[in-house]
A and B are shown apart, each in its own frame.
Chain A
Amino acid sequence: MSVHPSMDRDSTEWWASLAAHALIFQRCSECQTWRWPARAMCHACGAFAWRWQPASGRGEVASWIVNHHVFLPGVPAPYVVLNVRMAEQPDLVLPGAFEGPYDDPRLVIGAQVEAGFADCPGDPPAALLRWRIIQSIA
């Protein structure tokens, strides 16, 4: 159902954390702005000092698509991809898979979701995000 993620030198730790079923983001040590994907510099204040910090794992559906076309071998259609806006900060938006049927009536913009993790075969160990609805507004 997925493809093993490629990683870069900035993102290795984020993917390693996901493999251990923990969602983390960088947080600026100076201005406390959250950021993702991993970058060396804070885009808000220019500081280089930062730390990884565990996230709530909660957010809301910013948008979603239903793929009716086999875009990638091994990922059968139809399937949903979500963009989730994290509770931590409105411009922290992550894609992920959806735990539920592609025509789930609870799936609407603004629905509250929580991160789950789906292990992904391959080396190094990896997991992907799989969001589940915890409160729909539909």
Chain B
Amino acid sequence: MMLRDRTAVAGVGWTEYAKNSGVSTLTLALRAIGSALDDAGIRHSDVDGVACHRVGDSVQAVLVAQALGIKDLRYHLDMFGGGGTSHQVVAHAAMAVATGMAETVVCWRAVNARSEFRMGGTGRAAPDALEFQYQLPYGYATPPQQYAMLARAWMHARDAKPEDLGRVAIAQREHARLSPRAMMRTPLDMDAYLASRWIAEPLRLYDCCLETDAAVAVVVTSAERARDLAQPPVLIAGAATGGGHTLFSNGRADATVSAAAELAPRLYAAAGIGPREVDVAQLYDAFTFLVPLQLEDYGLVERGETGGFYADGHASLGGLLPVNTHGGHLSEGYVHGLNHVAEAVTQLRGAAGARQVAGAEVALTTGQPGYVGGTCSALILRRDGDPVHSSGQATAPMGNEGNGA
């Protein structure tokens, strides 16, 4: 049985994005879920499945189910993992619905990532990972440091300059300025980017995402049922997970290609949609360099060509392939990937207002590309209706001269 187009995202919901929410992660989760259910036009008593991921930083899935009043929980997933698993949670919800285990599954990510539990920082113990013993003694254990290590290797291999990362931060800030939800809406220019302080070289402050108190939720149900609900359905055309190696598991000799490269062919085949048919991409951007890296690994831009792609404005609204139209984790807020799913759905509904990509029919949305946790996950979503795109064959990546979308 293929998953293709059998399920849909019927609702999306957000809490406010804040530096200090003042409430528990349970309350954040319920608020986002409530907002997503209202959006879909579904009563909370109709939910029979729940799914989330966390790394010891958020409320348990079953507590949320109890608080929703679910008396007979037909499906639940409470996955250990960071952003690499974010899209896998939605994929699992779709699998549960497609196989008949549940009818309506809510997925969420709820974190007080600014006021309570900073990633790898103060406020909590190090995650339950055996590999930390080899890093922590050197004062090396937080995501900016781990990603800086990988960024240096990638930049060296691609001959990327600081300005190449700066253009990513600036393009996304320009998108965020068009979104009332975004945390960071003041203009950012190259001088300000280059003048921002080092966190861990080669990453500066503006290369790093914005830890946020927030929750985002999405409602997954069957495509058939979604057509009777309040919003135009956004079909889950394809889902894939992949990768597995980290720098601590042997097997990854080359740090310049991510786990996304492993799963991308499966993802496109699952959806029957090729990289050239993607109209808008929401790419996991805990740090700037992950965006050009994924443009390469998902076959959207030729390796080594991403600098020119950005310099020519192709990743901005109006370009060949607008990327992170909500501002991404860098400027909208860091909800560990699920806000990328929500933005992809918003774009495919044609409801993105000033930041709408005209005629967007197909969106790629991705989790952390497996650089630290090892595994990666991603979704291809599409607007409901007859398949307008044909191939499903892996087609050549878009170069600077490609006609792209």
Contacts and interface: CB of A to CB of B under 8 A. Distances in A.
B199 to A, nearest CB: 5
Interface of B: 130-142, 144-145, 148-150, 152-153, 156, 197-202, 247-253, 255
B140 to A, nearest CB: 4
Nearest to A43: B250
Contact of B200 (A69, A72, A97): A69
Interface residues of A, number: 44
B138 A96 contact: yes
A91 B251 contact: yes
A5 interface: yes
10 contacts: A2-B139, A5-B133, A11-B130, A65-B140, A66-B198, A67-B201, A68-B201, A75-B139, A83-B255, A95-B135
A67 B277 CA distance: 41
Contacts of B135: 95
A65 B152 contact: yes
Nearest to A75: B139
B200 A66 contact: yes
Contact of A94 (B132, B134, B136): B134
With most chain B CB atoms within 10 A of its CB, the pick from A4, A6, A89 is: A6
Given A63-B153, A66-B200, A37 B130 contact: yes
A67 B153 contact: no
Interface of A: 2-8, 10-11, 33-37, 43, 62-69, 71-72, 74-75, 79, 81, 83, 85, 89-97, 109, 120, 126, 128
A69 B130 CA distance: 24
A68 B198 contact: yes
Given A37-B248, A109-B153, 17 more contacts: A2-B139, A3-B136, A5-B133, A5-B134, A11-B133, A37-B131, A43-B251, A64-B152, A65-B145, A65-B200, A66-B200, A66-B201, A72-B136, A91-B251, A93-B253, A95-B140, A109-B156
A8 B152 contact: no
A67 B134 CA distance: 17
Given A63-B255, A94-B134, A109-B152, A43 B249 contact: yes
A128 B253 CA distance: 23
Given A37-B130, A71-B142, A62 B255 contact: yes
Given A3-B137, A11-B133, A94-B134, A35 B250 contact: yes
B135 to A, nearest CB: 6
Contacts of B145: 65, 67, 71, 81
A74 B136 CA distance: 12
Given A66-B198, A83-B149, A36 B250 contact: yes
Nearest to B203: A65
A80 to B, nearest CB: 9
A8 B138 contact: no
A38 B57 CA distance: 28
A77 to B, nearest CB: 8
A34 B199 CA distance: 34
B130 A8 contact: yes
A81 B137 contact: no
Contacts of B153: 62-63, 109
Contacts of A95: 134-135, 138, 140, 149
A83 B247 contact: yes
Contacts of A11: 130, 133
B201 A81 contact: no
Given A69-B199, A81-B149, A7 B133 contact: yes
